[in-house]
Structure 1
């Protein structure tokens, strides 16, 4: 069963709940630092994202409760005849709503947002350890067509 949710740009007041969601899983708990007050790095990142017209930090709400978050970055490329791509990152749902279709609505909303912005491609990455997430994205039509690589600095 899916629920109707409202999407909006995140505000500074949402940041504590967003970081809590990011930290609330086995991988996130190893790399996020959810404490009060939040480390200034989160606040600085939020301000940079909110000032960039090609970045959107989006929350999903049921009534006044934030139940999901995702960041969408719109990037112009020289390839594909100068086309734009949307990259979805940091997708999380609140443990209180998992299994209720909120994640599907988040991704479908992001795909529509990418279409509205004229993107020809939506891409995302997920850690290979997140096998459930991989299956979820495949069910939504995403294809593991490329091998991604990262270099930690």
Structure 2
């Protein structure tokens, strides 16, 4: 089980925008931090814009900013902005009705997966982008003390 990388990219981008809230960031700057392609980052940023989590300005000095304060954006907000379906999915085709496991497993898994999805969404809803910025800064302080 894994969330697609879109969620990780979205959360990374929002955390960067919050960390350097006083200025705009370009998709290239965010892509450099991700060591990724700016086109991928622009697609993700577009989804974040559509969800009213980020906005952009064009022209000289343009770039991306948060649309809301970082303390009001949760990891679930980022997840919901970029993911199109559940993290866990059932069989790609119906299992055998001739087998006792096959006859029953789909309904059992649907219940389990629905509950797991709910728990994940609830957990992501407890952490804000501001929380992540604080944790990033804490980790940086720890690294600087070790040097």
TM-score range, shorter chain: under 0.3
Structure number having the greater helix percentage: 2
Richer in strand (by share): 1
Structure number with bigger Rg: 2
Q: TM-score, normalised by structure 2?
A: 0.28
TM-score (norm 1): 0.27
Q: Which has the higher contact order (CA 8 A, sep 6+)?
A: 2
